[in-house]
Structure 1
Amino acid sequence: MIIRALLLVAVLIVSGCQTKTLDTEHPHLVIGPRASSYLQIEGVQEGTASGDLLRAGVRLHSISNVRQTLRFRFEWLDASGFELRGLAGRWERLELRPQVSHSLDRIAPSPKATNYRIHLFDINTPANVKPHTSGSYP
């Protein structure tokens, strides 16, 4: 009985340090464990901007009753699935007001960007937490 309880605690600790990808509903999102506890995804949009640049965005709702600080970044990918490095992929912060919807929208830095991922993490999630993906990205 004690061993079973210890195993359960170990599994919960390990799973709490991983991020999740919402592969079926929102395959372009990578959400950290803390952020997923107070974010509700209302939708993901994509399109093109002038110059045939990829444009992507996410509409999210803070279900928290207190202010939260979100860390986010847009990762732009080329046709081979490799990240296009540059200033556009830097981490940014957003103050989320309680029970309010927010939109994040960015335009790719280059016409070479054919795909993207949007990373959403709580400001208190350690930077060394690696994303755990349960499937492939589109």
Structure 2
Amino acid sequence: MLKVINPIFLVTFSCFILAGCAKPVTSGIGTSQLTLGDDFSQHLKLDNPKLVKKLKISNVISRKNNDLLQLNLELSSQYKKSQSLQYHFEWFDLQGFAVEAGKSPWQSLDLHGFGVINLTALAPSVRAEKFKIYVREVSTKSQKF
């Protein structure tokens, strides 16, 4: 006697099989797949302890563009006042070695209170598979010499 396979079971089973074969996204530190709700703080490098509480990155997505890693991420303020900031990306190969270190210029940005800004970047080399974003505060006070 031939059993009839439930079509819903067949579709569900096929989806699981195809999902298991999907290639993971390899941007960021490590090669784990980036999913909604991930903690992206591992990509954000801040030397100022006060700034750590004021910034967060989220919604990191990546793709290959002519074999170069292209990133898009959101930098959001967790602070009520505007902030004058600078940022730059550092790129790393799969083993964690820097790729073209020091060649990424600092970019200025003004991030308003509780605001969100979308940042994009393109790796300088096809060897770049991971990244970190460095952010620093820019003093708005005049300096005396």
| Shared fold, TM over 0.5 | yes
CA 43–86 in structure 1, closer or farther in 2 if over 3 Å, else same: same
Higher Rg of the two aligned structures: 2
Paired residues of 2:72 and 2:119 also in contact (CA < 8 A)? yes
Q: Give the structure 2 partner of residue 34 of structure 1.
A: 50
Counterparts of 1:38 and 1:29, CA distance in 2: 12
- Comparing 25-34 and 96-105, the one that deviates more: 25-34
Q: Give the structure 1 partner of residue 114 of structure 2.
A: 99
Paired residues of 1:79 and 1:115 also in contact (CA < 8 A)? yes
1:47 matched to 2:63? The reply is yes
TM-score, scaled to structure 2: 0.59
Deviations 1:13-70 (A, max 9, x none): xxxxxxxxxx982222223323222223332222222x12101232022232221012
How far did residue 86 of structure 1 move?
5.8
More relative contact order, 1 or 2 (CA 8 Å, 6+ apart):
1
In the alignment, residue 25 of structure 1 is paired with which amino acid? D
Counterparts of 1:93 and 1:106, CA distance in 2: 14
In the alignment, residue 58 of structure 2 is paired with which amino acid? E
Counterparts of 1:36 and 1:102, CA distance in 2: 17
Gaps of 5+ in 2: 1-29, 31-37, 140-145
Of residues 59, 74, 81, the one that matches 2:74 is 59
Q: When you count strand as a share of all residues, which structure comes out higher? A: 1
1:25 matched to 2:39? The reply is yes
**Where in structure 1 do 4 or more consecutive aligned residues deviate above 4 Å?**
none
CA 89–36 in structure 1, closer or farther in 2 if over 3 Å, else same: same
The percent of aligned pairs where both chains have the same amino acid is: 28
TM-score, scaled to structure 1: 0.61
Gaps of 5+ in 1: 1-22, 125-138
In the alignment, residue 115 of structure 1 is paired with which amino acid? K
Aligned length: 101
Q: CA RMSD in A?
A: 2.4
In the alignment, residue 63 of structure 2 is paired with which amino acid? G
Counterparts of 1:77 and 1:42, CA distance in 2: 20
